[in-house]
Amino acid sequence: MAIRSLSVVVPVFNGTRFLERAVASILEQSAPPAQLEIWLVNDGSTDDSDALCRQLERRHPAIRYVALPANGGVACARNEGVRRANHEYLGFLDQDDVWDAGKLAVQGEAFESRPEAGYVLGKMDFFLDGLDSYPRWFKPKWAEAPQPGYVLSAMLIRAARFREIGPLDEKYRFGDDVDWFARARASDSIEIMLPETVLHRRVHADNASARTEPSNRELLQIIKAKLERRP
């Protein structure tokens, strides 16, 4: 099934090196939606991201651009994109990652066969960019085979369902997606994990995942909040 209408949110922070490839991977889907909008949300970049986003907006009619007044974090940028999204389905893509060309095709088919699904995920793999070997924070097993993609960029969801579960918690600078998935599961949403790879994640020197100490602190906060939600 081809997705009829889709809004994709791409948070941008100093992303000039990667952004064009990310956007191209959305535009080059094997089963493109009949209606598409791509929200580039500039989260206070200090490089040439503003100029690049404006150039991409002029070049592609599907692209919409909004610049936030200051850096509020990735959750803030994602929430802004969701607020502006107009279409039935909602997707996300980080500026340094790439959708597989068949992502929308396989996830659309999953929604057609399982209309009761809350959201559909797929596998993700990793590729090196500018590095000779995987960094210390990278788990060796991740390089052996595609991994379950429990990240927003590997998800397709109806926008109405995302809004029912609620926005991303902007107090988290690294773990906003972990917290959101915990809330989604607590809401009894039916989660589908496909065997196909839908996302290619770039491993480079500036990955947010490399900042392990603050992200680990946030993970403990998320676990605490999850336990407090239990009846």
Question: What pLDDT digit, counting tens, does each position of 63-101 carry?
Answer: 999 999 999 999 999 999 999 999 999 999 999 999 999
Domain of 75, CATH number, reads: 3.90.550.10
Instruction: Provide the β-strand partners of residue 192.
Output: 120
Across 18-32, average pLDDT: 97
Yes or no: say if 106 and 196 are a contact pair by the CB < 8 Å rule. yes
Across 163-167, average pLDDT: 97
Mean pLDDT for the chain?
A: 89
Q: Which residue in 76, 79, 101 sits closest to 90, CA to CA?
A: 79
Q: Is the pTM of this model over 0.85?
A: yes
3-state DSSP call for residue 111?
helix
Instruction: Provide the β-strand partners of residue 6.
Output: 36, 89
Q: What percent of the chain has pLDDT over 70?
A: 86
Residue 132: pLDDT band by 50, 70, 90 thresholds? Answer: low
Query: What is the extent of the structural domain holding 126?
Result: 5-229
CA distance 90 to 203: 25
Tally the domains of the chain: 1
Q: Amino acid identity, residue 120?
A: V
